[in-house]
Structure 1
């Protein structure tokens, strides 16, 4: 059985919080959707029989105002077509890089009440994901 990664575990979140909070960050997002969204039975969307992609669009619409308010922007997005290097079963449906003015802004977003209400759509939508914190750097020649 493949391990799923939907929400950060406590150790990863604590490690995130231990890094500098006053610097810009970029978050690489890789997301694989469920075929059918899985909402809590008492959620308003539970009876709608949404796909994972549809539920993720609900997440974007509901969390977008909070993301914008804290200064977040999507600096790149794409539709993954093929994993050329990596496990063949590591299929992603969407990939994007979100930029935050500071790590503190990201933490403000994920603790906001409106965001917490929106995240249920993400949890319903996502089969597995990767969220990788990156420190932006100046463009330079070469890859490293």
Structure 2
């Protein structure tokens, strides 16, 4: 099973090549470490935090930046079971973050305070997915 924490260069280049002037939804799927893995010397190293606790710290420290660029959470949920997909694949949590445009996302990830905060995300996760969607119509049916 492959694990992913950060985007590959090719995937990030594809993301950067998409339109930057339209709203985007980012589906986040998270699988936490039992015990967070911080770099040696980090202020949170040795605290014995779970991956979930480290991710909560990421949310606390990155939240003001996320909100400043216009981000908001559109949906959040806790994983229950895989209905369609690999039976051995599980996630702990998922959420959809909305950004006014991809420029706002880039502004967030380039922010020096965000770059400090993201260490908590990396320490927290054993695997993740981050998938960009163009928002569509809601309501009605499947089609």
Same fold (TM over 0.5): yes
Q: Which whole-Å deviations, capped at 9, do the CAs of 1:19-50 have from their partners, x for residues lacking one? A: 00010000011100011100001101111011
Q: Which runs of 4+ in 1 moved over 6 A?
A: none
Structure 1 regions of 5+ residues with no counterpart?
A: none
After TM superposition, the score normalised by the length of structure 2 is 0.97
Aligned residue-pair number:
143
Structure 2 regions of 5+ residues with no counterpart?
A: none
RMSD: 0.9
Within 5 Å, give how 1:1-144 maps onto structure 2: 2-139=1-138, 141-144=140-143
Q: Which whole-Å deviations, capped at 9, do the CAs of 1:118-137 have from their partners, x for residues lacking one? A: 00000000010111100001
Distance 2:68 2:129 in 1: 24
Q: Which whole-Å deviations, capped at 9, do the CAs of 1:96-134 have from their partners, x for residues lacking one? A: 000000011011111111111000000000010111100
Deviation at 1:139, TM superposition (A): 2.4
Deviation at 1:71, TM superposition (A): 0.4
Q: Which whole-Å deviations, capped at 9, do the CAs of 1:46-84 have from their partners, x for residues lacking one? A: 110110000000000000000000000001001011111
Deviation at 1:140, TM superposition (A): 5.5
